[in-house]
A and B are shown apart, each in its own frame.
Chain A
Amino acid sequence: MRRATARLATALALAVALPGCVTLSRTEEGAFPAPAALRTLAKGMALRDVLAACGPPIEAWRQPEGLALIYRARRYDYDRFGLDPSRVLELVPVSSLAASALSNLRLTLERADLEEDRLVVVFDRDERVSGFAYRGRDGSRAP
């Protein structure tokens, strides 16, 4: 019974002393035109029709060559696995040799992944589409 209690206490100590052992986070921002709207894009299309179909851009640039609209939506995933046994040394009695070994044993694995839907539409000086390009978060070039 005492052994079981000691195990439970050790497990609880480990659980409390290893904060952030596994962290999964996801951040999403922006809204993107629907695929059906993207498929209506064509060279020669008027600015008003592009705005009506695709909505407002996230950025708009006026250049001497003409207007450029930029649409963007992002998803950012960040995963982390961390192990730091040295933080439990004060709670669990171990030999000095084991303590020095554990204090040097740290493991951190991190993974970050940014995915983005992106559309750029450029216009000529008459504000008609002269070109556009799309790239989906999976790398596809067509919606």
Chain B
Amino acid sequence: MPRIALQARRILVLLFPLLLPGCVSLGRQYDGVPLPLEKLAQVKVGTTTRGDILSLFGPPSSVQRRELEGVVSSLAARYQGDDLTLRLDPALFNDIFFYEYRRVNRTAVLLGLFNYVQSVDRSDRLAFFFDQAGKVAGFGVIQGTQGL
């Protein structure tokens, strides 16, 4: 076989993958801002208030608080009788602040006959639980994005 034809064939084989659109796709998704975890040193359980947390960390990604209507509905659904008297523990309505910084890494290899797609979703999460006085009852942090 002529040497030129052999080289042309090799070049064609090398160029062939370039003809396949979207062969490799790398996606990076960022949701939120990195959490200022160094400020956790200023948080004292039983002392730091909700206002302090807002000042230190800004607005939470989400605030969880039970609604009175939901509590009454769930109790009423389980009750069988004529009268229902409720004595509610105010702790039911204590707030939970969640802060989250989320990253999603996506990798796709699309070769026509063989496709591989991987998506890894990791978050740095911080949660503050408050007591009835509006002070921090406990907090937890997890740095999930370190594994990316």
Contact = CB atoms under 8 A, between A and B. Distances in A.
12 contacts: A12-B16, A23-B116, A25-B115, A27-B121, A29-B122, A31-B123, A51-B139, A62-B93, A64-B88, A64-B92, A125-B89, A127-B91
A49 B129 CA distance: 12
Interface in B95-148: 96, 98, 112-123, 125-127, 129, 137-144, 147
Interface of B: 16, 45, 64, 66, 71, 74-75, 88-89, 91-94, 96, 98, 112-123, 125-127, 129, 137-144, 147
Given A55-B125, A56-B98, A31 B113 contact: no
A29 B112 contact: no
Interface residues of A, number: 35
Contact of B137 (A15, A23, A48, A64): A48
Given A27-B121, A31-B142, A51-B140, A15 B112 contact: yes
Q: Is the interface of B mostly helix, strand, loop or mixed?
A: strand
Interface of A: 12, 15-16, 18-31, 33, 46-52, 54-57, 60, 62-64, 125, 127
Given A23-B115, A31-B147, A56 B91 contact: no
B127 A20 contact: no
Given A27-B120, A52-B139, A56-B127, 17 more contacts: A18-B113, A24-B115, A24-B116, A26-B117, A28-B120, A30-B121, A31-B122, A31-B143, A31-B147, A47-B129, A47-B138, A51-B138, A51-B140, A55-B140, A56-B141, A56-B142, A127-B91
Contacts of B117: 23-26
A84 B74 CA distance: 52
A26 B115 CA distance: 11
Q: Is the interface of A mostly helix, strand, loop or mixed?
A: mixed
A25 B138 contact: no
Nearest to A74: B121
A26 B113 contact: no
